[in-house]
């Protein structure tokens, strides 16, 4: 694995800025909400095996009472009469006394029906649908974790870019301040030379013009820093004024280029997505496996029960979906195609990341070499300026040549700082593609 020193890729300030940005970022908040939703779905799936109990109350009115047919009612009344005669001790062929009345035959079901019941059911075996569904949800959760890593990486690159651009502007301010001091010294020299008749006011005006150019650069830098502070405020929520108080510095980044690329969060997320779809496919096909459940019902109000209604019942239900019009099979095929699509995306992404990593490493090597070149140019420009300055003091060259030499110094020093910025950007890009950018932050 490549080694990225904490002092090289980020410092405590950038770490704190990143943490604030992570708290504020909308995408990360959405991922967190989705993970919480996934946790609830997993819990619900596990609760599938818990008993379900419900209370029901109904009122029904029939058009009329449900009664026995007339001939059956006559038979029942006749049987009742025989029992009465036997009880009071009169012959069965003797008519009942007028003082004895028979009970009317009760209806099978009265037309007004009020029922209150307690129902219960409990899943015993889901045909592995629940277990496969839970596994799919867990892989979805891991996929969200890797997408979170991807977003964190993207966020850190934004923070780092704003921070390094601000550092580049601060470096430019230092260069401008150094040039202003040199021009102040040259101004004092020219003023003395003018008094002694060794220089003209035109030379002083040229120095003043050079100072005005530096002032303009300072104003431009200040404006650019304010814009960057607004961007940092949008990313992290910290006040722009607080960020303007920081004085970031550019530090050359060092990485080990002789390493293999680590698996990126995007590839890991795709792997988890593929696994999740594989379990979803299995869950669809479990529709053809028998399911077993307990069920039961208890009548809490018995007054309106018919002669055929039980007070309670319980049983075991076996549900075996033998043929569903091939719905489950087609759904499984659809999921399988979606999984194959992710596998193609994974293969393509891996190839692109491999190529991108190689390019980033080459950019890093070129940028590192460029720093050496720009440092040499800066040293040469400085030596040239010192030589021209001595010549000017001895009257061997013009103020124009001196100012041009000073401008070359400014340009070379700034280009050296610019090359460090570019080298850091290439190093961060290599670390991002390599999947190790946030390794030291965790």
Q: How confident is the model at residue 146 (pLDDT cuts 50, 70, 90)?
A: very high
Range(s) of the domain holding residue 98 = 55-116
Domain identity same for 11 and 86: no
Token pair of 413, please?
């020093």
* pLDDT grade for 3, boundaries at 50, 70 and 90: very low
Does one domain contain both 60 and 161? no
Output the pLDDT for position 231.
97
Contact assessment for residue 335 and residue 284, using Cβ atoms and an 8 Å cutoff: yes
Reported as a pLDDT band with limits 50, 70 and 90, residue 425 is very high
- Summarize pLDDT for 229-285 with one digit per residue, the tens: 999 999 999 999 999 999 899 988 887 766 667 788 999 999 999 999 999 999 999
- 382 is written with which tokens? 């400085």
Residues 22 and 158 in one domain: yes
Q: 20-28 long-range CB contacts below 8 Å, 24 or more apart?
A: 20/236, 20/237, 20/238, 21/155, 21/158, 21/159, 21/235, 21/236, 21/237, 22/152, 22/155, 23/237, 24/235, 24/236, 24/237, 25/151, 25/155, 25/235, 27/151, 28/148, 28/151, 28/152, 28/155
Output the pLDDT for position 139: 97
Same domain, 26 and 107: no
Same domain? For 261 and 376 the reply is yes
Same domain, residue pair 345 and 259: yes
Point out which residues pair with 313 in neighbouring strands. Answer: 297
For residue 316, tell me if it sits in a domain.
Answer: no
pLDDT, position 253? 85
**Residue 6's pLDDT band (cuts 50, 70, 90):** very low
Between CA 132 and CA 269 the distance in angstroms is 19
Residue 303 domain-assigned (yes or no): no
Q: What is the pLDDT of residue 199?
A: 80
The per-residue pLDDT for 441 is: 63
104 and 145, same domain (yes or no): no
The answer to whether residue 205 is domain-embedded is no
- Give a yes or no: residue 353 inside a domain: yes
Decide if 109 is inside a domain: yes
Give the CATH number, domain containing residue 420.
Answer: 1.20.1600.10
Share of the chain above pLDDT 90, in %: 66
How many domains is the chain partitioned into structurally?
2
Q: 81-110 pLDDT, tens per residue?
A: 888 888 888 887 888 877 788 888 888 888
One domain for residues 62 and 161: no
Which pLDDT score is estimated for 407?
94
Indicate the helix (H) or strand (E) that contains 53.
strand 52-61
Q: Does 8 have pLDDT greater than 70?
A: no
pLDDT at site 362: 92
Based on the domain organization, do 251 and 369 belong to the same domain? yes
Average pLDDT, the chain: 90
Stated as kind and residue range, the H or E segment containing 228 is: helix 201-236
Q: How confident is the model at residue 1 (pLDDT cuts 50, 70, 90)?
A: very low
Query: Do 256 and 108 sit in the same domain of this protein?
Result: no
pTM of the model: 0.81
What tens digit of pLDDT does each residue of 173-224 get? 999 999 999 999 989 988 888 888 778 899 899 999 999 999 999 999 999 9
Query: Among all chains, which residue has been given the structure tokens 């030596």?
Result: 383
The answer to whether residue 41 is domain-embedded is yes
| Shared domain check, 435 and 406 | yes
CA distance 382 to 146: 50
Q: 170 pairs with which residues across the strands?
A: none
Question: Are 346 and 430 in the same domain?
Answer: yes
């Amino acid at each position: 694995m490549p080694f990225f020193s904490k002092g090289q890729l980020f410092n405590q300030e950038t770490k704190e800025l990143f943490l604030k940005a992570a708290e504020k970022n909308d995408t990360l908040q959405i991922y967190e909400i989705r993970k919480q939703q996934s946790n609830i779905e997993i819990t619900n799936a596990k609760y599938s095996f818990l008993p379900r109990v419900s209370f029901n109350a109904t009122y029904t009115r029939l058009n009329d009472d449900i009664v026995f047919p007339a001939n059956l009612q006559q038979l029942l009344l006749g049987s009742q009469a025989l029992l009465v005669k036997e009880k009071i001790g009169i012959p069965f062929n003797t008519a009942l006394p007028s003082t004895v009345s028979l009970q009317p035959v009760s209806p099978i079901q009265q037309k007004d029906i009020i029922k209150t019941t307690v129902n219960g059911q409990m899943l015993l075996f889901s045909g592995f649908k629940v277990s496969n569904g839970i596994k799919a949800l867990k892989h979805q959760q891991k996929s969200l974790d890797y997408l979170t890593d991807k977003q964190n990486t993207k966020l850190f690159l934004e923070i780092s870019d704003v921070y390094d651009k601000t550092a580049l502007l601060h470096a430019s301010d230092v260069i401008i301040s150094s040039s202003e001091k040199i021009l102040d010294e040259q101004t004092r020299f020219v003023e003395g030379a003018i008094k002694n008749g060794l220089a003209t006011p035109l030379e002083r005006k040229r120095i003043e013009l050079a100072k005005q150019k530096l002032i303009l650069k300072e104003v431009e830098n200040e404006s650019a820093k304010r814009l960057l502070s607004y961007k940092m405020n949008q990313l992290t929520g910290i006040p722009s004024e607080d960020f303007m108080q920081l004085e970031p510095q550019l530090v050359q980044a060092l990485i080990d280029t002789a390493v293999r690329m680590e698996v990126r969060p995007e590839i890991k997320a795709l792997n988890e997505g593929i696994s999740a779809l594989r379990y979803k496919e299995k869950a669809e096909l479990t529709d053809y496996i028998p399911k077993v459940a307990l069920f039961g019902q208890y009548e809490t109000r018995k007054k309106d029960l018919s002669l055929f209604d039980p007070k309670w019942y319980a049983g075991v239900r076996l549900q075996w979906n033998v043929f569903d019009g091939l719905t489950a099979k087609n759904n499984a095929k659809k999921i399988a195609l979606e999984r194959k699509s992710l596998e193609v995306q994974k293969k393509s992404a891996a190839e692109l990341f491999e190529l991108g990593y190689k390019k980033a490493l080459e950019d890093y090597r070129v940028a590192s070499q460029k720093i050496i070149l720009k440092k040499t140019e800066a040293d040469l420009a400085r030596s040239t300026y010192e030589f021209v300055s001595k010549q000017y003091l001895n009257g061997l060259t013009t103020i124009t040549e001196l100012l041009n030499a000073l401008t070359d110094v400014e340009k070379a020093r700034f280009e050296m700082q610019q090359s460090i910025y570019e080298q850091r950007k290439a190093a961060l890009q290599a670390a991002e593609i390599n999947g190790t950018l946030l390794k030291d932050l965790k």
